[in-house]
Amino acid sequence: MVQERIGARTPTEKAHEPALGTELIPKERYTSKEFMQLEWERMWTKVWNIAGRESDIPNVGDYFTTELGPESFLIVRETPDRVRAFYNVCPHRGNQIRNAGMGHAESFQCAYHFFEFNLDGSKKFVPDEDTFTQGVPQETALVEVPCDTWGGFVWFNMNPDAEPLLEFLEPVARHLEPYRFEEFSIMADKTIEWDCNWKASVDAFNEVYHVQGIHPQLLEGLDDIHVQIDLYERHNRYLVPMGIVSPRYQNPEEVTDGLRGRLRNAGVDPAEFEGRSAEVRPFLQRRARELAEEQGMDVSALNDDQMSDDYHYYLFPNITLNTHHFSFGFFRQRPHATDPNKMYFDIQSYARLPAGTEAPRPVHTQHRHGDISLGLVMDQDSYNLPRVQKGMNSRAYKGLLINYRERRIRHMNKTIDDYLFGPDR
């Protein structure tokens, strides 16, 4: 059983390399409404999707809504140990039960004709029920979808015959369990409507080949060459060494500005560090364990590299996790309801706080592409994406030319094809 294996250390061994070919990836996968519709019918409605954070609904009756493509979903804690997910639509005339956001309810009442539903979705009250000569059967209720929790997140699946969540997440649930995501607090929460296809956004974070191009400052603090890439059945990852100078950097012996910044973040005055650049990474790993012990955090299940590096996981189809010992970055790429050239980018940051401390939940904000800064590195990525999308729509452009270091992109597209054109189709 999958559940029995969870709790072990994060595996570090290199995964077997599947044969993925070398052909162009057709641009129509990123620009075509027909392909967008095929993705929706055969993939998005068959996979497990993250709805939100379980900590946002701690009490019975707490709820929030989430949107994916043309659909809206209502997530509610029905009992102390059960969370349910429903399509956010009244079966009477189609009115949405709740507006976007979160709140608390003893029951759900449609604001149009006041049909009322229990927290388990069942019918509670129908005004003038006797006027429905055809009757209002108990089956006239909110339509439920499979729902489960893992890692502090609530997940849902539009497929009534969905496989168990842990089977879908194999092997990454096992990999990530030592981080104890449920103990992390959300520190920032934004959504930006980006002017690109959702896959173009995923691609931007699934390879480090572009670091030498648009993120040259990062070469002072990470190794973009010796990156382990592991491709699994659906999901994939790469392990990026950090606290080290890139082999591309002109002076590999220098304790660079990037390394000095990492030392400062660890509470160390760079002027007092007497080692060479190659000694920074092991020093940061030791310092991270010291800080964890001082703050009452148990990181004994994490290996030394996890105390410094980015264990970067892609959970198919649309979740990116930049995972670190005290924090993780969360990216969720959601498809636009009608336009393949647009998508919604959910960016959240999480931190593991010292024992006995907590932080207020940040307010979720929504923005348009380019309206706000997301920080230097993210701004560098987001600047390119609308230009990538426009270029993909050019008559001159045929498709994505992918190199070996970008093979996570090819792997994602292959997994999409498994859903769209696999043996069950």
- For 28-61, the pLDDT digits (tens) are 999 999 999 999 999 999 999 999 999 999 999 9
pLDDT band at 6 (very low <50, low <70, confident <90, very high): very low
**Biggest CA-to-CA distance, the chain:** 85
Identify the residue whose tokens are 């104890």. Answer: 180
Quick check: 3 pLDDT over 60? no
- For 113-154, the pLDDT digits (tens) are 899 999 999 999 988 888 887 776 666 789 999 999 999 999
Identify the residue whose tokens are 């890439």. Answer: 229
Which residues lie closer than 8 Å to 305 by C-beta, 6 or more apart?
A: 12, 239, 241, 285
pLDDT for res 131: 85
pLDDT for res 2: 39
Token couple for 224 = 């973009």
407-421 helix and 198-205 helix, angle to the nearest 10 degrees? 140
Where does 114-206 show beta strands of DSSP type E? 116-117, 123-125, 144-145, 147-150, 153-157, 185-194
The CATH class for the domain spanning 48-158 reads mainly beta
Quick check: 112 pLDDT over 90? no
- For 235-291, the pLDDT digits (tens) are 999 999 999 999 999 888 899 999 999 999 999 999 989 889 999 999 999 999 999
Could you write out the DSSP letters of every residue in 386-397?
HHHHHHHTSTT-
The conformational region for residue 61 under phi > 0 = left, psi -120 to 50 = alpha, else beta, is left
Q: What's this model's pTM, rounded to 2 decimal places?
A: 0.93
Closest CA to 125 of 134, 133, 135, 114: 114
Cα 27 to chain centroid, rounded: 24
Cα 9 to chain centroid, rounded: 22
End-to-end CA distance of the chain: 28
The conformational region for residue 227 under phi > 0 = left, psi -120 to 50 = alpha, else beta, is beta
Cα R_g (the chain), whole angstroms: 23
Token couple for 376 = 């230097």
The single-letter DSSP state of residue 173 is H
Task: Determine contact, residues 386/231, Cβ cutoff 8 Å.
Answer: no
Cα separation, 155 vs 165, in Å, equals: 8
Identify the residue whose tokens are 């699994």. Answer: 232
* Amino acid (1-letter code) at residue 186: I
- For 311-363, the pLDDT digits (tens) are 999 999 999 999 999 999 999 999 999 999 999 999 999 999 988 888 999 99
Give how far Cα 38 sits from Cα of 43, 123, 320, 377, Å: 8, 34, 23, 33
pLDDT for res 1: 31
pLDDT for res 75: 98
Q: Give per-residue burial for 221-246: e unless 16+ CB within 10 Å, then b.
A: bbbbeebebbbbebbbbbbbbbbbbb
Cα separation, 251 vs 318, in Å, equals: 37
Domain ranges of the chain: 15-45+184-425, 48-158
**Mean pLDDT computed over every residue of the chain:** 93
* Peptide bond connecting 317 to the previous residue in cis, omega within 30 degrees of 0: yes
**190 bridge partner residues:** 347, 365
Cα separation, 414 vs 101, in Å, equals: 35
Task: Determine contact, residues 108/97, Cβ cutoff 8 Å.
Answer: yes
H or E element, residue 237: strand 236-240
Half-sphere exposure of 195 (CA within 13 A, CB side): 13
Cα 367 to chain centroid, rounded: 18
Task: Determine contact, residues 262/280, Cβ cutoff 8 Å.
Answer: yes
What's the CATH superfamily of 15-45+184-425?
Naphthalene 1,2-dioxygenase Alpha Subunit; Chain A, domain 1 (3.90.380.10)
Half-sphere exposure of 14 (CA within 13 A, CB side): 7
Cα 33 to chain centroid, rounded: 24
